[in-house]
Chains A and B, each alone.
Chain A
């Protein structure tokens, strides 16, 4: 079956670093996405990993290990505006546009 697991909630302090994990078990794999979603708003694209390793984009980095079925999103120098839900999604191997999402991790950044 298809399964993507993320922690439901996390709390961190402004200025700190937080790592949000995502593990997946899917019938196929053709890349992993991270999205940010503020309450009441649409998701916005953060990153896409298809090869193993770390991709860095400003304060945000995303890591992928295909052999372990594991990814994480690393947020550095946390700001209050980073309080949001973070969604992990896997692109199905058989289709270029079929996406399977995890339930999302709600991150609360405290002062």
Chain B
């Protein structure tokens, strides 16, 4: 089954404790992206990647890091999480030809 998976689905952590949210897709897609979704603000793009070792900043990259060492994986790293990073995070991917973007199920992160 074609899908985008994210782990964990729910995470509660404390300020300053480094964490990684994993994202994996099995569709051999070139493009992958991370978004955060907050009430009243909609989806905002954090980082995106157009292929292995090619990443670029979205609208809200501060406080986040990404890497794309393999085509299928695109982890999101929070080196020192802060409470303002409490949000719902979505990973997404699409192929080079189709414009249809597939989203993962989301990761709800709470930073206390």
Residues of A within 8 A of B (CB): 2, 31, 33, 41-45, 48, 87, 89, 95-104
Question: A42 CA to B103 CA in the complex, in Å?
Answer: 6
A64 to chain B, nearest CB (A): 13
Counting residue pairs across A and B whose Cβ atoms lie within 8 Å, the total is: 52
A53 to chain B, nearest CB (A): 16
B105 surroundings in chain A (CB, below 8 A)? 41-42
A70 to chain B, nearest CB (A): 18
Once the chains bind, are A87 and B45 in contact (CB under 8 Å)? no
Once the chains bind, are A103 and B103 in contact (CB under 8 Å)? no
Interface 1/0s, chain B 12-55, versus A by CB < 8 A? 00000000000000000001010100001111110010100000
Question: A32 CA to B25 CA in the complex, in Å?
Answer: 24
Residue of A nearest to B41 (CB): A103
Residue of A nearest to B32 (CB): A97
List 11 A-B residue pairs with CB atoms under 8 Å apart, sorted by A's residue number.
A31-B99, A42-B104, A43-B90, A87-B42, A97-B48, A97-B50, A98-B45, A98-B58, A99-B43, A101-B35, A101-B44
How many chain B residues touch the partner (CB < 8 A)? 24
B59 surroundings in chain A (CB, below 8 A)? 2, 100
Residues of B within 8 A of A (CB): 31, 33, 35, 40-45, 48, 50, 56, 58-59, 90, 94, 99-106
B41 surroundings in chain A (CB, below 8 A)? 103
Once the chains bind, are A42 and B106 in contact (CB under 8 Å)? yes
A2 surroundings in chain B (CB, below 8 A)? 59
Taking A48-B99, A98-B48, A101-B45 as known contacts, 9 extra A-B pairs with beta carbons closer than 8 A to each other, sorted by chain A number, are A2-B59, A31-B99, A45-B99, A45-B102, A48-B100, A100-B45, A102-B42, A103-B40, A103-B42
